């Protein structure tokens, strides 16, 4: 994890390997195609006020995500390199840059500086929200998954799984930017300090989720995932309980067992909880944790299974968010449920046509073993409701249909209560995560009518993401405000990195869930 400091020094005199400044589109003075954003004044002065013209000459446009490196002038700037990152259109006179614009720009800059030791970020930080955004973006952009690089499986990691100093040393082009100084922030200001501390914990926990998602399924099984939850609980003072396959059988968790029974790696249900002594409300979070989704007997064809190690992204997000809430001392109780199973075909696997008796007592005809996420979630949702939380949110890479509907960067939000759905959508936007409210049309329920059981695990193909939501709703106890986030699109980035989003596991929903916990503490939810 990169170190982050707040600095009152001028960007020009700060000892660093690079200075990051922002540039916006437009020709306010009628000269250059770009303008230097607030925060970059000292650097511009060292360029004799010609930094915008220089960047213009180099073809910089100020577009979001654009990165242009220029050598520092002979004198006036201590760092050898100036990196200009695009901020898009400048906001209206007197308005600040949007936090998400700053977050993405800081992320793009941090990525472009991997292999560098220390960078000073001299971006427009006019308020505490901007300080937080720059800190978050830079930290989230400074990520690399290197555990499997080199000649040993644990290359770069010590026995505790921490990256060694060697792996993080500067000069290694794949090593993330090691030190981030946010210039213009106030190191002695309480709010600024809190914002930075929050950004650090947040980025840490997003990185925890990304690492879990990127870990291949031969190393991340329900058992090893559960062990990591227990270890983190111990480290950060949370409580963790793990139900193994025997306990699951005793408890009647037919959904989780049915999905996991075909695998040599048996399933687990983890309850990881954080309690605050002064908490008034409890938020329950449920995550889909399919450590590998082969589809089971309804096997996925080649071309659809290569990224299915990421089918535990929901559980990873819940895990990260619960630990983040604990580390930040959020004044709410947060209970995470990780529904962990590996979906494999074998002689012991659930067959299409089998009927499972779920934890709730309802029976499910499994028409398609590839619709496994809703089965493990159903048991966890019913179990979570027994504790009467004030609000319940599940997160899952649930359907390909949601990816078709919303694309790869937006998750769907469904809920049994319209006001709650709106609240979750708004909290996500606040956190800098793209989401969209989706309906749960009642007529789609009849597509899941089964001739032999209470419900089938599949219904109409059209609107498949909504059908999955309707299935889950059957296992939520009435009266519990519940929302369902289908993160199948944004959880795993198969194309190139952008902003603070790396290739591979993204840590989607961690930031939204942490904000939800904070809102719960502030009494705004549940």
Pattern of binders to ligand BES over 280-309, x per CB under 6 A?
-------------x----------------
b/e map of 23-55 (b: 16 or more CB within 10 Å)? Answer: bbbeeeeeebbbbbbbbbbbbbebbeeebbbbb
Q: Which does 368 bind (CB under 5 to 8 A by kind): Mn ion, ligand BES, Zn ion, none?
A: ligand BES
Judged by CB under 6 A, which of 109, 371, 393, 395 binds ligand BES? 371
Residue number with CB closer to Zn ion (310 or 335): 310
DSSP string, 126-141: -SHHHHHHHHHHHHHH
Pattern of binders to Zn ion over 269-298, x per CB under 5 A?
---------------------x--x-----
Pattern of binders to ligand BES over 440-469, x per CB under 6 A?
------------------x-----x-----
Min dist CB 508 to ligand BES, Å, is 11
Judged by CB under 6 A, which of 180, 375, 488, 525 binds ligand BES? 488
Place of tokens 């789609």: 444
Residue 518 interacts with ligand BES (CB under 6 A): yes or no:
no
Judged by CB under 5 A, which of 44, 211, 311, 379 binds Zn ion? 311
CB atoms near residue 237 (< 10 Å): 11
Residue 293 interacts with Mn ion (CB under 5 A): yes or no:
yes
Min dist CB 208 to ligand BES, Å, is 20
Judged by CB under 6 A, which of 10, 215, 399, 410 binds ligand BES? 399
Reduced to 3 states (helix: H, G, I; strand: E, B; else coil), residue 54 is helix
The answer to whether 300 is a known catalytic residue is: yes
Give the total of residues touching Zn ion (CB under 5 A): 4
Q: Rounded to whole angstroms, how far apart are CA atoms 160 and 373?
A: 31
Min dist CB 488 to ligand BES, Å, is 4
Stretch that binds ligand BES, among 98-106, 191-199, 393-401, 493-501 (CB under 6 A): 393-401
End-to-end CA distance of the chain: 34
Q: Which residue is nearest to ligand BES (CB)?
A: 400
Residue 376 interacts with ligand BES (CB under 6 A): yes or no:
no
**CB neighbour class for 66 (10 Å; exposed up to 12, middle 13-18, buried from 19):** buried
Angle between helices 190-214 and 128-141 (to 10 degrees): 30
Cα distances (angstroms) measured from residue 103 to each of 17, 22, 98, 138, 503: 21, 12, 9, 7, 17
Residue number with CB closer to Mn ion (9 or 368): 368
Q: Rounded to whole angstroms, how far apart are CA atoms 51 and 498?
A: 25
Stretch that binds ligand BES, among 92-100, 278-286, 396-404, 409-417 (CB under 6 A): 396-404
Q: Which does 403 bind (CB under 5 to 8 A by kind): Zn ion, ligand BES, Mn ion, none?
A: ligand BES
Q: Rounded to whole angstroms, how far apart are CA atoms 108 and 511?
A: 19
Q: Rounded to whole angstroms, how far apart are CA atoms 291 and 315?
A: 10
DSSP code for 108: H
DSSP code for 148: T
Judged by CB under 6 A, which of 260, 373, 499, 502 binds ligand BES? 373
Q: Which residues contact 268 (CB under 8 A, 6 or more apart)?
A: 222, 223, 225, 226, 242, 243, 244, 245, 248, 338, 340, 341
Contact 131, 139 (CB under 8 A): no
Give the total of residues touching ligand BES (CB under 6 A): 16
Min dist CB 136 to Mn ion, Å, is 32
Stretch that binds Zn ion, among 211-219, 319-327, 369-377, 502-510 (CB under 5 A): 369-377
DSSP string, 368-419: -TT--HHHHHHHHHHHHHTT--SEEEEEE---HHHHHHH-SS-EEEEESSHH
DSSP code for 444: G
Window 357-416: residues binding Mn ion (CB under 5 A): 370, 372
Residue number with CB closer to Zn ion (199 or 487): 487
Residue number with CB closer to Mn ion (367 or 521): 367
Judged by CB under 6 A, which of 26, 65, 96, 400 binds ligand BES? 400
Catalytic pick from 25, 374, 383, 515?
374
Min dist CB 219 to ligand BES, Å, is 19
Q: Which does 399 bind (CB under 5 to 8 A by kind): ligand BES, Mn ion, Zn ion, none?
A: ligand BES
Q: Tokens for 189, please give them.
A: 């200001």
Residue 211 interacts with ligand BES (CB under 6 A): yes or no:
no
Residue number with CB closer to Mn ion (210 or 288): 288
Element holding 234 (H helix, E strand): helix 222-236
Query: Residue by residue, what is the 3-state secondary structure of 285-342?
Result: EEEEEEEEECCCCCCCCCCCCCCHHHHHHHHHHHHHHHHHHHHHCCCCEEEEEEEEEE
Catalytic pick from 300, 409, 445, 503?
300
Judged by CB under 6 A, which of 17, 44, 66, 372 binds ligand BES? 372
Residue 373 interacts with Zn ion (CB under 5 A): yes or no:
yes
Contact 427, 515 (CB under 8 A): yes
CB atoms near residue 304 (< 10 Å): 14
Judged by CB under 6 A, which of 44, 311, 474, 518 binds ligand BES? 311
Which residues are designated catalytic? 300, 374
Using CB under 6 A, list all residues that contact ligand BES. 293, 311, 368, 370-373, 397-401, 403, 458, 464, 488
Binding site for Zn ion (CB under 5 A): 290, 293, 311, 373
């Amino acid at each position: 994890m990169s170190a982050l400091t707040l600095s009152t020094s001028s960007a020009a005199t700060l000892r660093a390997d690079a200075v990051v400044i922002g540039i916006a589109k437009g020709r306010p003075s009628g000269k250059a195609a770009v303008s230097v954003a607030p925060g970059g004044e000292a650097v511009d002065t060292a360029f004799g006020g010609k930094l915008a013209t220089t960047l213009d000459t180099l073809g910089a446009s100020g577009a979001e995500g654009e990165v242009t490196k220029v050598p520092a002038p002979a004198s006036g700037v201590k760092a050898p390199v100036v990196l200009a990152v695009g901020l898009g259109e400048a906001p209206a006179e007197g308005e600040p840059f949007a936090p998400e614009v700053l977050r993405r720009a800081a992320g793009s800059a941090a990525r472009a500086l991997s292999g560098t030791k220390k960078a000073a970020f001299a971006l427009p930080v006019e308020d505490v929200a901007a300080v937080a955004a720059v800190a978050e973006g830079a930290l989230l952009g400074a990520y690399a998954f290197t555990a499997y690089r080199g000649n040993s499986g644990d290359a770069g990691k010590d026995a505790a799984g921490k990256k060694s100093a060697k792996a993080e040393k500067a000069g290694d082009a794949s090593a993330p930017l090691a030190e981030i100084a946010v210039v213009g922030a106030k190191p002695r200001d309480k709010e600024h300090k809190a914002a930075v501390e929050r950004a650090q914990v947040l980025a840490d926990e997003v990185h925890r989720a990304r690492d879990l998602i990127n870990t291949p399924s031969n190393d991340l099984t329900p058992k090893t995932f559960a062990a990591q939850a227990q270890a983190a609980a111990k480290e950060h003072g949370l409580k963790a309980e793990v139900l193994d396959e025997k306990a699951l059988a005793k408890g009647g968790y037919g959904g989780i067992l049915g999905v996991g029974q075909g695998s040599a790696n048996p399933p687990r249900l983890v309850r990881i909880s954080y309690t605050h002594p002064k908490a008034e409300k409890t938020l329950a979070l449920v995550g889909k944790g399919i450590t590998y989704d082969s589809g089971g007997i309804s096997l996925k064809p080649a071309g659809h299974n290569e990224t299915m190690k990421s089918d535990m992204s929901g559980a990873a997000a819940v895990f990260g968010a619960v630990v983040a809430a604990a580390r930040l001392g959020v004044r709410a109780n947060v209970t995470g449920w990780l529904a962990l199973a590996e979906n494999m075909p074998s002689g012991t696997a659930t067959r299409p046509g089998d009927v499972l008796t779920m934890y709730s007592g309802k029976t499910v005809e499994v028409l398609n073993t590839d619709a496994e996420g809703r089965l493990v979630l159903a048991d966890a949702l019913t179990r979570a409701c027994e504790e009467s939380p004030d609000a319940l949110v599940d997160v899952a890479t649930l359907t390909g249909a949601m990816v078709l509907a919303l694309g790869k960067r937006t998750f769907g939000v469904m809920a049994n209560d319209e006001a709650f759905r709106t609240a979750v959508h708004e909290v996500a936007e606040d956190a800098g995560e793209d989401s969209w409210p989706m309906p749960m049309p009642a007529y789609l329920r009849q597509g899941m009518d089964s001739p032999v059981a209470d419900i089938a695990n599949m219904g109409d193909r059209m609107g498949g993401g909504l059908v999955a939501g309707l299935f889950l709703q059957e296992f939520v106890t009435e009266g519990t405000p519940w929302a369902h986030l289908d993160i199948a699109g944004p959880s795993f980035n198969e194309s190139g990195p952008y902003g603070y989003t790396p290739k591979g596991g993204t840590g989607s929903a961690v930031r939204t869930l942490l904000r939800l916990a904070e809102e719960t503490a502030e009494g705004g939810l549940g």
